[in-house]
């Protein structure tokens, strides 16, 4: 049976049925999934049963995979999962719920801010594939914001003003918003601020999109306060209700999203009480965003 595509919203989220991601897809099914990913930014594959390798094998068909930041930095405890899988759970390597004062728990809170994955890397993410193994009974949803729709809704003057602007993104910037500054020198060296265009053309659809995250901290060529105010204004604009799809997870859901034209955030839950086991594979984009857009960065 061929895959079925059920739109959840007109052109932002869709559910993909009649497909078993634990096995290689037929060429027709693969084409249907790829086509759906050009139109929709969020694809929901319900009822999957995947081990880590099957999850990674499916993700790898979309491009080269990232190594998780938890594997890059030496300052985390032993990894529970393979280095290509970002462990977005509240569970440690002994299969216990993370302690209240755990460092990983403090960093993980950053996922509650609107962001797009790996925009703090020069080569950011193209797509993320998050797989749900355990869910708390209450809360823990994930929200997705449609940055193509948010761009379309901007006044013409704002669109003009944003053209060619570059923001600096860093993991430290988003974590600083939450008062977390305890980065090691090694982490500071490995994750320095990187430039990202604020507006880009989405490769799949050709549509223009905002490109933004809470990782953005400065706008190049702008006084610091003015840049921050612009970033916050755009984050608020893009996360308005009409641009947001909320995913309420069921165990076995694999949700794939397009990091080039969306933002997402995790919603709170009682994480000291309930287990939430989420595992993410992340596909790299093809080139840094400034390179893709042909934006040259003037030396400051």
Positions 137 through 156 that interact with ligand OGA (CB under 6 A): 142
* Token pair listed for 242: 């009409």
CA distance 44 to 55: 14
Across 229-255, b (16+ Cβ under 10 Å) vs e yields: ebbeebbebbbeeebbbebebeeebbb
Question: Which stretch, 112-120, 155-163, 197-205, 207-215, contacts Mn ion (CB under 5 A)?
Answer: 112-120
Q: Which of 15, 87, 117, 253 binds ligand OGA (CB under 6 A)?
A: 117
Closest distance of CB 270 from ligand OGA, Å: 14
Cβ contacts of 68 within 8 Å, gap of 6 or more: 83, 84, 85, 86, 87, 280, 282
* Token pair listed for 254: 């694999």
Closest distance of CB 297 from Mn ion, Å: 25
| Residue with Cβ nearer Mn ion (162 or 281) | 281
Positions 244 through 283 that interact with ligand OGA (CB under 6 A): 264, 266, 278, 280
| Residue with Cβ nearer ligand OGA (130 or 191) | 130
DSSP-derived pairing of the beta strands 142-146 and 125-134: unpaired
C-alpha atoms less than 13 angstroms from C-alpha of 57 in its C-beta half-sphere: 11
Closest distance of CB 188 from ligand OGA, Å: 22
**With binding defined as CB under 5 A, does residue 258 bind Mn ion?**
no
* Token pair listed for 229: 């105010």
**With binding defined as CB under 6 A, does residue 119 bind ligand OGA?**
no
Positions 62 through 101 that interact with ligand OGA (CB under 6 A): 88
* Token pair listed for 189: 């060296």
Q: What is the DSSP letter of 60?
A: H
Closest distance of CB 278 from ligand OGA, Å: 5
Closest distance of CB 4 from ligand OGA, Å: 26
CB 297 within 8 A of CB 290: yes
User: By three-state DSSP, how is residue 245 classified?
Assistant: strand
| Residue with Cβ nearer ligand OGA (81 or 166) | 81
Closest distance of CB 52 from ligand OGA, Å: 15
**With binding defined as CB under 6 A, does residue 15 bind ligand OGA?**
no
> Which parts of this chain interact with Mn ion (CB under 5 A)?
117
């Amino acid at each position: 049976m061929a895959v079925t595509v059920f739109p959840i919203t007109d052109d932002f989220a869709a559910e993909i049925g009649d497909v078993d991601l634990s096995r290689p897809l037929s060429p027709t099914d693969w084409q249907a999934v790829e086509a759906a990913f050009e139109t929709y930014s969020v694809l929901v594959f319900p009822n999957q049963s995947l081990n880590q390798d099957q999850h990674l094998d499916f993700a790898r068909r979309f491009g080269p995979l990232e190594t998780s930041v938890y594997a890059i930095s030496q300052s985390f405890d032993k990894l529970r999962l393979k280095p290509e899988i970002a462990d977005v759970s509240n569970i440690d390597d002994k299969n216990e719920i993370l302690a209240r004062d755990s460092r990983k728990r403090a960093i993980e809170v950053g996922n509650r801010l609107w962001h797009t994955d790996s925009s703090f890397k020069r080569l950011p993410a193209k797509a993320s594939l998050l797989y749900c193994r355990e869910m708390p009974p209450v809360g823990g949803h994930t929200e997705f914001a449609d940055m193509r729709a948010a761009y379309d809704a901007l006044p013409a003057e704002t669109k003009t003003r944003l053209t060619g602007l570059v923001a600096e993104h860093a993991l430290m910037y988003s974590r600083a918003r939450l008062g977390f500054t305890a980065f090691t020198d090694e982490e500071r060296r490995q994750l320095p601020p990187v430039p990202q265009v604020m507006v880009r053309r989405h490769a799949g659809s050709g549509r223009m999109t905002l490109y933004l995250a809470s990782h953005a901290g400065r706008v190049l060529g702008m006084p610091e306060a003015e840049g921050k105010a612009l970033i916050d204004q755009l984050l608020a604009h893009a996360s308005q209700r009409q641009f947001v799809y909320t995913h309420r997870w069921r165990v076995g859901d694999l949700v794939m999203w397009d990091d080039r034209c969306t933002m997402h955030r995790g919603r709170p839950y009682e994480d000291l009480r309930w287990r939430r086991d989420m595992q993410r594979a992340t596909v790299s984009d093809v080139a840094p965003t400034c390179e893709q857009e042909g934006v040259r960065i003037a030396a400051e």
